[in-house]
Amino acid sequence: MDNGESSYRRFLDGDPSGFDELVVMYREPLILFINGFLHNLAESEDVAEEAFMELIVHPKRYSFRSSLKTYLFSVAKNKAVDRVRREMKFSSYITPEDCEKEDGVRVEEYIFRKENENMLSRAMEKIHPEYAAVLRLIYLEDMTGEEAGKVLGKNKRQMANLLYRAKNSLRRAMEEEGFIYEK
């Protein structure tokens, strides 16, 4: 898989559908990743748009040496961190869709799953932002340790240590939330 490089090359060659493919491929994961820093979906959407705009406004900044996904997530992380520094406050936003029952799922199962998701979300908010970022990149975005390291500006050894600490920190935070691990 080329992580969007071929779509971006097509866009650079004048095919606007290439950029549309990138947006479809990365918009939602990028918003969720950014939301880990901002804790505000509306602002996260704005930052994701800014990251995509970088691809349009400054096409020469991406050199095709790393994957486009890695580059895009790095740009987004930098923009999110800049926004956090500027505003120095967090807020949360819950969409109405978060409260609706899914079709075909028993209400009890839905409530149980939502509670587990909320527990994980609260635990992720309690841990260090860098720990949350590495967990999101590796487990939600399926990035390799090397790709995540490029996004976070860490070498291989630093990534291994960061991931180890992140997992332990999340485990402790989940236990504080009342999560019981099955053996």
- In the chain, the amino acid numbered 134 is V
Look-up of token digits 């987004």: 76
CA 62 to CA 75: how far, in whole Å? 10
Overall fold of domain 1-93? Rna Polymerase Sigma Factor; Chain: A (1.10.1740)
The pTM (predicted TM-score) of the whole model is: 0.60
Contact 102, 110 (CB under 8 A): yes
3-state secondary structure 21-79: HHHHHHHHHHHHHHHHHHCCHHHHHHHHHHHHHHHHHCHHHCCCCCCHHHHHHHHHHHH
Task: Fill in the DSSP letter of residue 107.
Answer: H
What lies within 8 Å, CB to CB, of 107 at 6+ separation is 101
Domain 100-177 sits in CATH 1.10.10.10: yes
Tokens of 12: 């650079």
Among 42, 6, 44, 1, residue whose Cα is nearest residue 22 = 6
What pLDDT score was predicted for residue 109? Answer: 63
What pLDDT score was predicted for residue 90? Answer: 38
**Domain definitions of the chain by residue range:** 1-93, 100-177
Mean pLDDT by 10 residues, the chain (183 residues): 82 92 93 86 93 92 88 90 67 43 51 70 87 90 90 93 94 81 60
